[in-house]
Amino acid sequence: QRRVKGIAISRPVVYGNVATPLGDEKASQADHTHRWTVSLRGANNEDISYYVRKVVFKLHETYHQPSRAVDRPPYEVTETGWGEFEIAIKVYFHSFCAEKPITFFHHLRLHPTEALAAGTLANPTELPKPGLINQPVLAYHYDEIVFNEPVEALARVLLEN
């Protein structure tokens, strides 16, 4: 397949996690403290399945079947747990794209940053506001998938969408 020389086409994505303390909810295991969801999506919430074939989220080995493949949107995994760890997010493209998979790395975050946990930046020794303690923690990153010299079929669908 011919590649379109001298061009690169990029598509914006957002990946990361949200986490909430379990509180009184029953976890699947007694030592679990949080429920979290790790995800990959289009940066403007657009559908990315026209070029993404599947996304494999590689969790910590303490999880049952740590390699979680998701072959349609939403590309996300929800779990409960007690610890933070690095998640590899491997993105596979449709075969017509003729592109190798790419991997993003995300450090799963369960706990608020120190500034939030210990009060405010202006007043760091202040105790946390009780309301903030049980807020969801968000940790998302913006990035771009860059297709360098894409094959014609991929260039066409990228420019059409």
Interface with ligand SLL (CB under 6 A): 29, 60, 62-63, 81-85
**Token couple for 154:** 């991929």
Please, what is the minimum distance in Å from the beta carbon of residue 22 to ligand SLL? 12
Please list, in sequence order, all residues whose beta carbon lies within 8 angstroms of the beta carbon of residue 2, skipping any fewer than 6 positions away.
151, 152
Is the CB of 2 or the CB of 64 nearer to ligand SLL?
Answer: 64
Q: How far is the CB of 1 from ligand SLL (least distance, A)?
A: 42
Residue with smaller CB distance to ligand SLL, 87 or 97: 87
Which CB sits closer to ligand SLL, 63 or 140? 63
Report in angstroms how near the CB of residue 118 gets to ligand SLL at its nearest. Answer: 20
Query: What element of type H or E holds 114?
Result: helix 114-117
Cβ-based neighbours of 12, under 8 Å, separated by 6 or more: 42, 43, 44, 142, 143, 144
Q: What is the DSSP string of 24-37?
A: TSPPSSTT--EEEE
Nearer to ligand SLL, 86 or 144 (CB): 86
- Tell me the C-alpha to C-alpha distance, in Å, between residue 30 and each of 33, 63, 85: 8, 14, 19
Cα separation, 41 vs 47, in Å, equals: 8
CB of 64 to ligand SLL, least distance (A): 7
